[in-house]
Amino acid sequence: MNTSSKLIAITTVAAIASLIGCKPRGAQSAVSGDAAQKTYVAPGKYDEFYDFVSGGFSGQMSVYGLPSGRLFRVIPVFSVDPEKGYGYSEETKPMLNTSHGYVPWDDLHHIALSETNGVQDGRWVFANGNNTPRIARVDLKTFRTAEILEIPNSAGNHSSPFITENSEYVVAGTRFSVPLDNTNGDVPINTYKQNFKGTVSFVHVDTSGKMSIAFQIQTPGVNFDLARAGKGKSHGWVFFSCYNSEKANTLLEVNASQRDKDFIMCVNWKKAEEYVKAGKAEKRTVAYAHNVYNENSHSATSEIEKEVLVLDPKNCPDMVYFMPCPKSPHGCDTDPSGEYIVGSGKLAAVIPVFSFTKIQKAIADKNFDGDYDGIPVLKYESVLHGEVQKPGLGPLHTEFDADGNAYTSFFVSSEIVKWRISDLKVLDRVPTYYSVGHLSVPGGPTRKPWGKYVIAYNKITKDRYLPTGPELAQSAQLYDISGEKMKLLLDFPTIGEPHYAEAIPADLIVKNSQKIYKIEDNQNPFAAKGDANAKVERKGNEVHCYITAIRSHFTPDNIEGVKLGDIVYFHITNLEQDWDIPHGFAVKGANNAELLIMPGETQTLAWKPDRTGVFPIYCTDFCSALHQEMQGYIRVSAPGSNVPITFSTGKNEPTGPIAQNK
């Protein structure tokens, strides 16, 4: 054991001992005097940045303003959202379809804003579903989930989605290695070393935003954790951190921490594209869902795709290299110039910083330290720019400003450390409350950081907020980085558990924000584009109600002729053409959520009545002074009844043979 590895070993023991919690001293330290002024956004004024924050196990994404920390919206992505009817309306259910059927939840960790020439462009934001591997694209015109693509040959889509500088690809590395989908997966778990493989996927994004899996690369059975695309000079490469190079399949806490170094995997995707073009990829039969929301029909479709192209590095020289990285790396981040790649070993005592120029030279000189499963391993010293010494305990993630500085989060020692990339000197450190995970600097992962702030996304709140029972809100903390020293400005609670977040100047999004759906563009097959088109039709045991909503009534508002055993479909068209006037729709006893229908849009609620009687329907969104009058009734009769289908608004003559009920 040399001195540095001894140091690592000692620090590792200390780190493991304190992994469970470490509260910084001076936890109640005061914020600087002008913090309130710096975060105060006067009523009616706009924030400077939008902040898109992952919701972790809430499966959603939330949108805050910075510097105020005000919550603007929760965007449902992988989880159903009864507030908006997402995943409950017939139109949105297909968004949550997978090869396993309907999966109404996921674990959303990472955010990737679209880029042009390495600069945020405000078109889309991508997010990963960890559990049932998926990538979603949210359209920033509407702040709605526009597309969800399942990832085959993957299990735990954690190393995802990280975007290339012209949004050519979002990448997806599997956290769990598994028997691949085209093999017989029914194998003993302890045959891990023979039968379990990893993959990284390159998901192409076309100019309209539409995603497709261009190719996958099969890898040794490690665990991929995070990734970053190269930029500038390193454009064309993606760097994936991985742990468990021991290929352990039990007690990873100990067994995956044996080796001094794990790896960062460097993938030359331009080379991979050449191999795909040259026919080197193997077509494999798999099954994965591809779900797309159509803005004109306001409905999603889900297709199961059956094929994927897989490259094996064994047949593709010069495509994949491993770079040793101390002790179970987590974060893997590339600086704005694209020259430096920062690895963050969770149990390491240093932060290694690699040089892209040196990586290229080491490859050219074949400066290898053997291979790992046939893939060349670059010599650590030959690719290293240097190590940040004594930075803190448990480095996780690094962001950058435009002035050559890096900001690294330390989970175990609960702090943010600012250091200079050129000479690796630590410049400043501030505590976080508590146990910070990701950091985010506006534009921090791009070629053009906007700087100004770093936001810490913390795992634990403890004593920071009013107690709310056994679980407390997770928390973000805003720090001013405009000076030499970082200054804490604000705490604000978050929805779900925040992992990564990205902030973007508001004007890049505001100018494109959509206000309504034009009623004349509405192609939903069940739309009623005016009260004259409102109707109720029976088709076998289905009753389709084409209902319009406008302040402050539904047309029709009285419906009869439904029989027990029928399925009733309420197709509600919101005829409003004004910004911010949705209507809601609910019916008593429905085993479903409400609908929330945007101006010009049609959404459908399916309802299977469970008893005869008269059931109220009403608008759930306070839309006008007479919102409370926006209501109606639907009558359900016995299966054999001869009540005909009738529907009306504003008429009160008896319809149908009601005498029988008198």
Pick the closest to residue 173 from 185, 155, 149 (CA basis).
155
Question: Cβ of residue 627: shortest distance to ligand CUA, in angstroms?
Answer: 4
Q: How far is the CB of 440 from ligand K7E (least distance, A)?
A: 11
Residue 228 is a binding residue for ligand K7E (CB under 6 A): no
* Nearest of 118, 69, 111, 140 to residue 511 by alpha carbon: 140
Which x/- pattern over 285-304 shows residues binding ligand K7E (rule: CB under 6 A)? Answer: --------------------
β-strand pairing of 474-480 with 415-420:
unpaired
Tokens of 141: 């015109």
Residue 659's SS3 state is: helix
Is residue 438 near ligand K7E by the rule CB under 6 A?
A: yes
Query: In sequence order, which residues have a C-beta less than 8 Å from that of residue 75 and are 6 or more positions away?
Result: 60, 61, 62, 63, 138, 143, 144, 145
Q: Does 235 bind ligand K7E (CB under 6 A)?
A: no
Of 108, 136, 489, 630, the residue at the interface with ligand CUA (CB under 6 A) is 630
Interface with ligand CUA by CB under 6 A: which range of 155-163, 225-233, 496-504, 615-623? 615-623
437 makes contact with ligand K7E (CB under 6 A): yes
Write phi, then psi, for 650 (nearest 5 degrees): 75, 5
520 vs 223, 263, 573, 619, CA distance in Å? Answer: 50, 55, 12, 23
State which residue, 266 or 619, has the beta carbon closest to ligand CUA. Answer: 619
Question: Which residue minimizes CB distance to ligand K7E?
Answer: 437
Mask of contacts with ligand K7E, 328-357, x by CB under 6 A?
--x---------------------------
Q: Which does 93 bind (CB under 5 to 8 A by kind): ligand K7E, ligand CUA, none?
A: none
Out of 621, 633, 645, 656, name the contact with ligand CUA by CB under 6 A: 621
Other beta carbons within 10 Å of 466: 6
Q: Pull the structure tokens for residue 19.
A: 């992994």
In Å, how far are 35, 195, 288, 417, 429 from 31, measured between CA atoms?
7, 54, 50, 18, 15
Q: How far is the CB of 650 from ligand CUA (least distance, A)?
A: 17
C-alpha distances out from residue 433 to 33, 68, 484, Å: 19, 18, 21
Q: Cis ω on the peptide bond leading into residue 329 (within 30° of 0)?
A: no
499 contacts ligand K7E (rule: CB under 6 A): yes
Contact partner at residue 158 from ligand CUA, ligand K7E, none, CB < 5 to 8 Å by partner kind = ligand K7E
- Residue 137: name its binding partner from ligand CUA, ligand K7E, none (Cβ under 5 to 8 Å by kind): none
State yes or no: residue 295 binds ligand CUA (CB under 6 A): no
Question: Which C-beta is closer to ligand CUA: that of 46 or that of 622?
Answer: 622
Nearer to ligand K7E, 347 or 636 (CB): 347
Q: Which is nearer to ligand K7E, 109 or 487 (CB)?
A: 109
Position 583 contacts ligand CUA (CB under 6 A): yes
Strand runs (DSSP E) across 486-557, as ranges? Answer: 487-494, 501-505, 535-539, 542-550, 553-555
**Collapsing DSSP states into helix, strand and coil, what is residue 80?**
coil
By C-alpha distance, which of 12, 449, 494 is closest to 254?
Answer: 12
CA distances from 219 to 312, 315, 538, 658 (A): 7, 12, 55, 71
- For residue 415, list its beta bridge partners: 410, 431
- Burial class from Cβ neighbours inside 10 Å (0-12, 13-18, 19+) for residue 333 reads buried
Instruction: Give 654's contacts (C-beta < 8 A, 6+ positions apart).
Output: none
First to last CA, the chain: 94
Q: CB of residue 198 vs ligand K7E: minimum separation in angstroms?
A: 17
Residue 248 · residue 256 · CB < 8 Å = yes
CB of 498 to ligand K7E, least distance (A): 8
Q: Which residues pair with 175 in a beta bridge?
A: none
Q: Is 46 in the site for ligand CUA (CB under 6 A)?
A: no
Does the footprint of ligand CUA cover residue 617 (CB under 6 A)? no
Q: Which two tokens stand for residue 559?
A: 């419906």
CB of 583 to ligand CUA, least distance (A): 4
269 binds ligand K7E (CB under 6 A): no
Shortest gap between Cβ of 554 and ligand CUA (angstroms)? Answer: 8
Q: Cα–chain-centroid distance for residue 350?
A: 30
What's the CA gap between 603 and 343, in Å, rounded? 47
Query: In terms of CB distance, is 253 or 403 closer to ligand K7E?
Result: 253
Which amino acid type is present at position 155? A
Between CA 70 and CA 493 the distance in angstroms is: 10
Report the residue number, 579 or 622, with the smaller CB distance to ligand CUA: 622
How many residues line the site for ligand K7E (CB under 6 A)?
Answer: 11
Give alpha helix (H) positions in 299-349. none
Binds ligand K7E (CB under 6 A): choice among 84, 110, 447, 583: 110
DSSP helix, strand, coil percent of the chain (3-state; round to 5): 10, 45, 45
630 binds, among ligand K7E, ligand CUA, none (CB under 5 to 8 A by kind): ligand CUA
Size of the site for ligand CUA (CB under 6 A): 7
Q: Does 627 participate in binding ligand CUA (rule CB under 6 A)?
A: yes
Tokens linked to 204: 């192409």
Residue 499 binding partner per list ligand K7E, ligand CUA, none, with a CB distance cut-off of 5 to 8 Å that depends on partner kind: ligand K7E
Neighbours of 22 (CB within 10 A): 18
State how far the Cα of 415 lies from the Cα of 83, in Å rounded to an integer. Answer: 36
- When asked if residue 134 is in the footprint of ligand K7E (CB under 6 A), the reply is no
622 forms part of the interface with ligand CUA (CB under 6 A): yes
Of the residues 151, 172, 598, 619, which one makes contact with ligand CUA according to CB under 6 A: 619
Any contact of residue 579 with ligand CUA (CB under 6 A)? Answer: no
- Segment interacting with ligand CUA (CB under 6 A) among 135-143, 426-434, 501-509, 619-627: 619-627
Q: Which stretch in 285-293, 447-455, 623-631, 645-653 sits in contact with ligand CUA by CB under 6 A?
A: 623-631
What 3-state DSSP class applies to 139? strand
Kindly state whether residue 282 participates in binding ligand CUA, applying the rule CB under 6 A.
Answer: no
- For residues 198 and 484, what is the distance between their CA atoms, to the nearest angstrom? 43
Nearer Cβ to ligand CUA, position 462 or 627? 627
Kindly tell me which of 617 and 630 has the beta carbon lying closer to ligand CUA: 630
**DSSP-derived 3-state class of residue 337:** coil
Nearest CB to ligand K7E, comparing residues 226 and 272 = 226
Sign of the four-CA dihedral 120, 121, 126, 127:
positive
108 binds, among ligand K7E, ligand CUA, none (CB under 5 to 8 A by kind): none
- Chosen from ligand K7E, ligand CUA, none, partner binding at 330 (C-beta under 5 to 8 Å by type): ligand K7E
Quick check: 500 binds ligand K7E (CB under 6 A)? yes
Question: Does residue 649 bind ligand CUA (CB under 6 A)?
Answer: no
Residue 109 in the binding site for ligand K7E (CB under 6 A):
yes
**Interaction site with ligand CUA (CB under 6 A):** 583, 619, 621-623, 627, 630
**Interaction site with ligand K7E (CB under 6 A):** 109-110, 158, 226, 330, 396-397, 437-438, 499-500
